[in-house]
Structure formats: C-alpha cells, structure tokens
A and B are shown apart, each in its own frame.
Chain A
Amino acid sequence: MNQIYNDPIGHWVVVVVAMALLLFVVLTATAYTVWFERVALGRIQRRPGPNRVGPFGLMQLAADGIKLAFKESFVPAKTDKIIYVLAPTIGVAAAFLAWTVIPIGLWYNVQYWIADVNVGILVIFAVSSLNVYAIVLGGYASNNKYSLLGGLRSAAQLISYEMALGLSLVPTFMIAGSLRLRDIVEYTVTWGPYHGPIPLILLTPIGFVIYLIAATAETNRTPFDLPEAEQELIGGFLTEYSGLKFTMYYLAEYLNVITVSALATLLFFGGWYLWIVPPIFAFLLKVILFLFLYIWLRGTFPRLRYDMLMRLGWKVLLPLAMANVIVTATILVAVQG
C-alpha cells in the first residue's frame, strides 16, 4: 500500500478512488441518518415511524428520493435564477469538502482518510464557514419575505456561534499542541500504570459542552432551528425550494450533522481508539452515538426565541469559552513549567 501511495501517479489514483468511495459512503450514511432520525423521533413521540417500504422501512429514503426527483423543479418569478440554483449547490459542496480532511481510522498502518493536513481543523472551519452562503443566498434569491428573514436570521446565528465554536476547541489544541486531527486523536498520556491515548473530554469537559451547543446551532438543528421555524417563517429559506434543490439542502444539513458528530468523536472522544474494538468500527460507533444525541435533542427540546439565542451565544457561551481558554492555558503553563 505504501509503495503505491509514494508513487506520483499511484498517489493520484489512490486519492481519486478514495474520493469516489468517500462520496458513496458519505451519501449513503446521510440517507440512513435521515432514516435513523425518523425512526428514533417516531419512537420518542410514541409512533412507529417509517416501517412500510422494505424491511424496517429501510427503503423509505430511496422512495423519497425518487419522489423528490420527479417533483416539479419550481423557480419563483422575477428572481435571479443563477443564484437561486447556485445556493443549494454551495451548501452541498461545502458540506462534502469538510470530509477531505476528516480521518476515519488507522488500521494495520493503512490511513483511512484523503488528506492529512496539519491545519486540518482550520480547513474544516474554513469550508463550513461557506455554508452560510447557501442559506443567505437561498433566502435572497427566493424573492419571498419569509425566506429572506430566514436567511438573515441564519447569517446572524451562524456568525455568532462560530466564535464560541472556534474558542471551545482552543483548549484541545493547546493540550495536544497541534491542529492536525490525527495528532489530537493520538494524544497520549502516562497516568501511573496507564500509558496510551485518552479521550480529551477528560481534560476539557467545559470545552466539550460549549462545542456541543455551538455545533448544534451551527448546523441549524433544534433547538436552534430558527432559520426554518415553521410557525413563524413557514419554512424559512426552504419555503420556495422543491424537488432536487430541496433535497440538496436536506443533504447538506444532514451531512453537516454527521460532520460535527465526527469532529466531536475525533476531538473529544479519542477518535478510533476504543479498547479492543477495531478502529473503524469504534469510530462509527461513536459517531452513531452522537447522531442519536442530536436526534434526542431534537425530540426533547423546544425551540429558542431569537433574543434568547443571541443572549446565549454572546453573553454565556463566548465568555465561558474565553475563560476556558485562559484557565486551560494557566494550568498548562503551571504543569509544564
């Protein structure tokens, strides 16, 4: 494997094959995340959820996909058609790009990821910061008051919570001494008889809590789904979208949920290390647990009001994250001398 990888042409072949494979895996994972959410939400609300198409309703997503593909591709009158079509495309592209640097596992010296970048986490922030364009432009190009309001709410929300999200991870970087996701996962400690990797949540529990809240807000999930609050804004930026363009927005949203779950796994829960479980299965197990946590949140929490959202972001999470950075830095200097 290493020989192929070090050869200049073989390297490109490996990378292109890996990208195609990743595209397939991530798309399938997204589809089944939607299925998982519908079933889990159904159980939370004491109803069966999808159970008609295929065994356990597993083919429901294929049926939905076909239905959406055959729907009329509606474009509102008097609008900028190029931007209207471009907006969902930006969302999907940004959501997929993050997966170029997310490591899935290290198994028998084979690396299961596309690029091992030493500013990996910054690259993920960079591409996910482009997500906001999909929503703002969608809201603008729909030529609809509710869509515009949804888009603007979303811009304010994403920018506010990006700060807390970024700061919540700084203690992790300071402890691991690197921005490379692999270095963070492989951060090892020697505690008495134990020598090996540990989940970093043990060292930065507050950072994890802030990350969890801010990441939920960044992905526009309940209780922070104000951009598409149906009681006030019909469907927010999604109101005028239908057919495949609507599907693309949904794809991007669920892809982002999987991405933040994978990041939580990598940054706070030791990535692919889990006792004797094989690396990739350990990673998948942890990501699925996080996905369930997000679904659980959606099933149990009511939506925040807009002023509550802003107060939480700027007056609670941001100062807390800042204090967390300062305290962690002080402890690190005290311990390392």
Chain B
Amino acid sequence: MAIAVFFVAAAMAVIGGIGVISFHQPVRSVLSLVVVMLALSVLFLLLSAQFIFAVQIIVYAGAVMVLFLFVITLLGPARELGRGRLRFQTWLSALFLLVLLGLMWAMLQGVQYRQPDSGVNLSFFGTVQSIAVGLFTTYLYPFELTSILLLVAAIGAIYLSRKRIDDPEGGPAEEGLRPASGMGGNLPPPE
C-alpha cells in the first residue's frame, strides 16, 4: 500500500516539476509548483514525518506560493515569449542532462529501498514533540541564528522598498503603487 502511494506521489511530483518549466503562462507554472509541494508533503508523510508534512503544506503551498501567485496576478496575465534562446541551448541542455544522470547514478549506487531502523520509536519519531525537543535543545543556537537571519532579511527588504524622505521623486516605493500595465486586459487567446 505504502509503495503504491509512494509511486503516485513521486509521479505527481515529477509531472508537476515538468509542468513548472514547460507551461507558457506563469500562473500555470505556479500551480504546477503547488502540485510538487503537495506531492512532497505526501512523501514526508510516508517517512512518518507528520509535522513536516503539515508544515510543508501550510508554509510552502499555503503561504509562499500564494505570494508568488499574488505577484504574478498583479503583473498581469502576460504570456512568456519564446525568444532569447542561447545559441547552443539544445546541445548544452543535453550535456547537462548527461552529467546530472551520471551524478545520480553514482549517488544511487548501493542505496537500497529499506525499512526504518528497528531502534526508532515510530510513535515518537517525526511528531511535533520530537521536533520541538530537537529544536529547543540540540539545535537551539542554529535555530535562533536562523531567526536572526530572517529578521535581518525582513528589515533589509523594508529599508530597500520604503519611500525616501529626501527624494523629491518619491523613491522606489512609488513604483509599486502604480497600477500594473497589463492588469486584467491583455491575455492572449487560448491555444
């Protein structure tokens, strides 16, 4: 049963990933990425990481991707144009694909599909309590340092986007207040 769920979720993740790079409308790409996130959360659940499963959906599918969608809908439904290709794009991509496959083959040598270690208590492993114990004891300093990093990033973003008082033009913040050029009018005809 678990293996069937794994293959369905894995296939969904791969199809979603292909969708992200092959759709021409940005909104569909975002939705494909949401599918990837949901499939990944199912994979986490299969590894008995219940807390990560829920957080993966809440944070990535429920918040991060919504902000992506927010920006894309504000920019308007403009279609990505098929220009600006590199000169040897096809050959380069084939080369990188070969290198990637070679690396994956090298990594996967000797990895077997296995059961969880017998010493692991599955009624505690991956629960909110076990994650909390890890975060607030062993990994307390890295955890707190990460939160400071996030705070710095947030303050930096506010500083960069705020209105300059000494700037008579109003600074970069004005830019965001103007209505987006393509808002709700210039969608191309569907295929």
Contacts and interface: CB of A to CB of B under 8 A. Distances in A.
Interface of A: 78-83, 86, 117-119, 122-123, 125-127, 129-130, 132-133, 136-137, 139-140, 143-145, 147-148, 151-152, 155-156, 158-159, 162, 179
B150 interface: no
23 contacts: A78-B187, A78-B188, A79-B187, A80-B77, A82-B28, A118-B50, A122-B128, A126-B54, A126-B62, A127-B57, A129-B62, A132-B66, A133-B66, A133-B69, A137-B27, A137-B31, A137-B69, A140-B27, A143-B77, A145-B183, A151-B73, A158-B66, A159-B67
A147 B58 CA distance: 25
Given A83-B31, A119-B51, A136-B66, A143 B57 contact: no
B128 A179 contact: yes
Contacts of A136: 66, 69-70, 73
Contact of B184 (A117, A130, A144): A144
Contacts of B62: 125-126, 129-130, 132, 162
A81 B190 CA distance: 8
Given A137-B27, A143-B187, A152-B74, A129 B128 contact: no
B57 A148 contact: no
A192 to B, nearest CB: 31
Contact of A129 (B27, B61, B69, B187): B61
Given A122-B54, A122-B55, A129-B63, A83 B27 contact: yes
B54 A123 contact: yes
Contacts of A130: 57, 61-62
B77 A126 contact: no
A145 B27 CA distance: 17
Interface in B46-90: 50-51, 53-55, 57-58, 61-63, 66-67, 69-70, 73-74, 77
Contacts of B57: 126-127, 129-130
B116 interface: no
A140 B77 contact: yes
Contacts of A159: 63, 66-67
Nearest to B38: A130
Nearest to B128: A179
